[in-house]
Structure 1
């Protein structure tokens, strides 16, 4: 894909490759807590307790200047 280019100059602010490991761990933690609550006939915890995006390795996305960072436009 030598000709593949980004259309928008927006990239993730991170040193991590992806959020996959964080998301897998958080979903596993949520499933365990929900299954325990269901087996004990308790109320389910709110979904906001799991997967806080500010606790992950990536901190969102930000626009960058493509003229200053041309390598950032490559996929």
Structure 2
């Protein structure tokens, strides 16, 4: 992986490293709701987007940054 680098000059707008905790929490919440609905006999199951709000996650999006240096493009 010493030669791997990003191909596009896109960077996250955040100080957070990842959204892993947010995604884990959202999927646990979804699985819990689905399990309760299946056990009660309901077949109208929610979508992930209905249960969690991606706008509340730690990262706030991405933007194109054409002036990125070679160091910033390294993985």
TM over 0.5: yes
Unaligned segments of structure 1, at least 5 residues: none
Count of matched residue pairs: 73
Deviates more, 1:44-53 or 1:31-40: 44-53
Consecutive aligned runs of 4 or more in structure 1 exceeding 3 Å deviation? 1-4
State the TM-score, normalizing by the size of structure 1: 0.77
Q: Tell me the distance in 1 between the aligned counterparts of 2:52 and 2:63.
A: 21
Give RMSD over aligned pairs. Answer: 1.9
Aligned ranges for residues 1-75 of structure 1 at < 5 Å? 1-47=1-47, 48-66=49-67, 69-70=68-69, 71-75=71-75
Unaligned 5+ segments in structure 2 are none
TM-score by length of 2: 0.77
